Amino acid sequence: MSKTSDLLTIGSKTFQSRLLTGTGKYKNLKIMKESIEKSNCEIVTVAVRRVNNAETGHTGLIQSINWEKIWMLPNTAGCCNAEEAIRVAKLGREFAKLVGQEENNFVKLEVIPDQKYLLPDPFGTLEAAEKLIKEGFTVLPYINAEPLLAKRLEEIGCATVMPLGSPIGSAQGIRNKANIEIIIENSKIPVIVDAGIGVPSEACFAMELGADAVLINSAIALAKNPPLMASAMAKATEAGRNSVIAGRLPQSSFATASSPSKGLISEKSN
């Protein structure tokens, strides 16, 4: 992917913001709405099963967001196998149509049978992705930071890959740096670091590694002041992106003086 473009391109859509946010875990919908606005994000994830089942905190969620400005990214959270994920993805596409996004075929694909560590199933993810792509979906798969899987998902037509930085909601930061760097180096589609980011410096670090975007939910929603944290995450994401474009000073084993070496007092005295 180009590291100098101002726009994030996913499938046939382009976005200016490189921060994606979620809609879960907020204390109330008012705080969620304000946080989304402060984040300047253009894409938010919506857990289809939780909205469909009217779970606590999700009732009225769809009506709370201005879908003329925000692109819905339905996700298959809560799905344990490929069959469930495919069914929920189709329901998510209908949700998008209900809010006026008739052409929205996006789906954040999550297949997570493990309820302790919430690690995604690589086999179920690949199976579901293949079938959803054939049905015209723009698939954004959530995966462990596994370079070979990431490449395979790219080859079958996924629009992005979304490797986790560390387990969902853990706030452990980027624990898979080496593998994420390999994924970024070898990817021709956007790489979005998803899960584990706890503070703005970690969002910035993910972008400095060369990620095309980050997705952050818990770190914003569960902060003491979610709207303020959302604003901080937006600034950190932008700073990390600008750092990559600007080009960092190469690291050196030796010190290099920042002031001129000519005209020193020792030279004049000689």
- Ramachandran region of residue 263, left (φ > 0), alpha (ψ -120 to 50) or beta? left
Q: Return the bridge partners of 139, or none.
A: 107
For 209-236, b where at least 16 C-beta lie within 10 A, e where not — what string?
bbbbbbbbbbbbbbbeebbebbbbbbeb
DSSP 8-state secondary structure symbol assigned to residue 225: S
Instruction: Confirm if 16 and 71 have CB atoms less than 8 A apart.
Output: no
> Do 138 and 170 meet the contact criterion of CB atoms below 8 Å apart?
no
First-to-last alpha carbon distance for the chain, in angstroms, is 56
Catalytic residues: 108
Question: Can you name the residues that pair with 142 across neighbouring β-strands?
Answer: 162
Find all residues with CB under 8 Å of 197, minimum gap 6, and list them.
165, 171, 173, 174, 203, 206, 214, 216, 219
Q: How far is CA 165 from CA 42, 171, 179, 188, 192, in A?
A: 22, 9, 10, 20, 10
